[in-house]
Structure 1
Amino acid sequence: MSLMNFFPSRTMSLYMARMFLVRTFAILAALVLVLQALDLLSESGRILAYAGNGDGEVWRYVGLRTPEIIARFLPFSVLLGTIITLSQLNQNSEVIAMKASGLSAHQVLAPLMLTGLAVAAISFGFNERVVARASATLAQWKKVDYGPLPIDRGDRSNVWVKDGDHLIVVQQIKGRGDAALLAGITEYERSGQSLRSILTGTTGKRDGDGWRIEGAQRFDVAGGTLTPLGSVRIAQGVRPDQFTLSSVNADGLSFVGLREAIADLQLAGRPTKALEGALWHKLSGPLSSILMPLLGAVAAFGLARSGKLFVRAVIGMGLGFLYFVADNFALAMGNLGAYPPFLAAWAPFLLFLMIGEAVLLRTEE
């Protein structure tokens, strides 16, 4: 039997795929509208609290936050779209007609799973090209309390590094390695747990195994005096990667960018297990769109007139939500180091793939 014979007729396949897509994206649009409105209620006050911000900044926030909401709730929308589509097909006895024509349960679901694969590909591309950039920009904007954004959206901001007893905070970092440039440097010079002085500088760059700070001045805590220093060398032994890799936002990086950041961290001898789990989840997350038709298939089989269609729909919805709970739990365990990264990202997907198959085989008759 050829691959095309595995599917229902072309007309029926397109009909089911269109039903599935329309309902999925209609639900997604409704969820995004409601959730964005609720999120805006909690954040609009903080946005407008910054002097000079107005409606333009509020709409900018909406533009940056909406892609994150879409990415997070697309799998939920696929699940609900699947259940509604299959329930309607069952209610109209279309599933019975397809099975009476000799199609198996897997053949009935084939158009939805193929469409789910297309949705997964779109989701991955959307996450890579839109969500990662919007998340990175929004994270930086929040760090400056919704003030003016740094010009380079790839820069790191508000990074803290420890140098012995001293603490160094840098407002913005550009570049990588020995070419890294620091801006807005503050070093809290401590003796044990006591603050002795505060050194500030406008810019800094690599100088040997330390950092050359320009426009430096030191405030003496005990004497209350401010002393201009001009150019001064600080942070001997502090590596560039301690600034550039101290805070890696997995959500704000593409798959390739996150993989490069993990490689840099590994070269620097830094822990990467949590980031490796996030890297694998950038693949397994979108693929959940293929799994949803299988988990929601319980709503497609069984006689609608038996009065159990609603119960079947609830069971399908419960299986889908259990998958999301297990997925978040596994990621949390991966972040804690209890699960290996690959297992944390892929175990829920493989587990519920087997559960979906078992439930499908058990309930199709």
Structure 2
Amino acid sequence: MNRLDRYIAWQLVKDWTLVWIVMSAIFSLLAIVDELERIQNHYQTADVVQYILYTLPQRSMDLVPVIVLLGTILALARLNKNSEIIAMRAAGMPLTYFFRAVAVPALLLVLLLYGVSEYVSAPLYQKAETEKSLARTGRTNLLRGKGLWSVNNLHFFNVRTLRHGKIPSDIYLFQFAPDGRLLNFIYAETAEPSKDREWELRDVTQKTLEDSTLKTTFRKELATGPFWSPEELPVLPLPITGMTLTGLYGYVEYLHATNQNWQRAEQLFWQKIALPLTAGAMVLLATPIGASLRSQRSTAFGSNLAIGAGLGIGFYLLIQIINTGSSLVGIPPAIVAFTPTILVLAATGWLFSRMR
């Protein structure tokens, strides 16, 4: 990457950051106003601020195609307004070279977005939802010790982990006699809680003390309870929108294996895969819009910038409608998810052909 490539990349990064700051401030302010209405005894202003900060990366991921679209248009339109693009072309820069100078930062952005989605935004989002739910219910004691504990007389119930942030896993049940002897022990790999507080344990190992003899049995499923319902256990109903790609993949496999409704989770999985690619395609789409080779006066700069941004955002919103509508008519989720990227790239190719 030579000095000119680095200069163009820096202009893009600078305006991507500027647009991200502005849009994050606007949408975070709206989120704060919405959350302030939910303040109660255990959920105070400090909890609201913490929740907004933790969910900011996920909120930014949802907006990233629009952010990079506006940032790219702004950066290239400024270069064009200052006649820098005209100077580059006059110095002999071919159109393909200029396209490559923009495509390289776009590719790096795509890779960065995958990393942020997997290791930053999703974990922080799940942490935010968990702590918000615990703060609002005032039952922070549920997280003391290893996992989640419930005690009912001489029965102890322990959920060690939540697989993929959704599925109760590594579940232990202990039943003791009044003199402290362990009468019954149950271990289950996973479980599915119901609204009537009954739990369907799966892949169960049960050890029972009968006449001083420990008897071990294995079961595929075992219904037991009452324990927590999904509404009563604040860390269970985490939205799947904040799950990582790997977590979503495992969750879809789990739903398939247990014959549960998996369509929504699979659709979200493919949308998360396609989102960074769509953002990269949006950068390329904004390039011919922002880098029009005609000289522009300051008034034309503003109007062209507004028209380009409006067209780009309208196109993005149209794609969102296609996503929703296509899923309703039974089109495979992978095809629906990658349709925006393909359409954006097709529009980009058409606009670039008109720049020649």
**TM beyond 0.5:** yes
Check the 8 A contact 1:204/1:211 in 2, yes or no: yes
Q: 1:94 aligns with which of 80, 84, 92?
A: 84
* C-alpha distance in 2 between matches for 1:346 and 1:173: 28
For residues 152-210 of structure 1, give each alpha carbon's deviation from its aligned partner in whole angstroms, at most 9, with x where no partner exists: 9xx99xxxxxxxxxxxxxxx973169334688x863xxxxxxxxxxxx78x99667543
The residue aligned with 1:352 is 344
Give the one of 210, 233, 236 matched to 2:222.
Answer: 210
Q: Distance in 2 between matches of 1:181 and 1:279?
A: 23
Return closer, same or farther for 1:173/1:359 CA change in 2, 3 Å cut-off.
Answer: closer
Contact map agreement 1:136 1:251 (CA 8 A) in 2: no
Q: 2:294 corresponds to which residue?
A: 303
CA contact (8 A) 2:126 2:238 kept: no
Q: State the shift of 1:41 in Å.
A: 1.1
Question: Which of 308, 314, 318 is 2:310 aligned to?
Answer: 318
Say yes or no: does 1:274 pair with 2:268: no
Matches within 5 A, 1:170-181: 174-175=168-169, 178-180=188-190
Taking structure 1 as the reference length, what is the TM-score of the superposition?
0.70
Deviation at 1:29, TM superposition (A): 1.1
- Alignment of structure 1 residues 41-56 onto 2, 5 Å: 41-46=33-38, 48-49=39-40, 51-56=41-46
Matched with 1:258 is 248
**Which segment is superposed worse, 31-40 or 291-300?**
291-300
Q: Distance in 2 between matches of 1:308 and 1:54?
A: 48
Match of 1:290 in 2: 280
Is this contact kept in 2: 1:17–1:112, CA < 8 A? Answer: yes
TM-score where L is the length of structure 2: 0.71
Give the aligned residue type for 1:174: P
Counterpart for residue 128 of structure 1? 118
**Structure 1 residues 106 and 215: CA distance shift in structure 2, 3 A:** closer
Matches of 1:186 and 1:342 in 2, distance apart? 32
Structure 2: state its 5+ residue gaps: 149-165, 172-187, 207-218, 229-235
**Secondary structure of the structure 2 residue equivalent to 1:304:** coil
- SS in structure 2 opposite 1:97? helix
Structure with the larger RCO, 1 or 2 (CA within 8 Å, 6+ apart): 2
Query: In 1, distance between residues paired with 2:227 and 2:30?
Result: 45
Q: Deviations over 1:299-342 (max 9, x none)?
A: 21232237744444334323421342133223313542432111
What runs of 5+ residues in structure 1 fail to find an aligned partner? 5-9, 157-171, 188-199, 217-245
Change (3 A) 1:35 1:255: same
C-alpha separation in 2, matches of 1:270 and 1:17 = 46
Q: CA deviation at 1:359?
A: 1.3
CA RMSD, 1 decimal: 3.4
- Residues 27 and 81, structure 1, Cα contact 8 Å, conserved in 2: yes
- How many angstroms does 1:247 deviate by? 6.8
Q: Judging changes above 3 Å, is the alpha-carbon distance between structure 1 residues 69 and 215 closer, same or farther for their aligned structure 2 residues?
A: closer
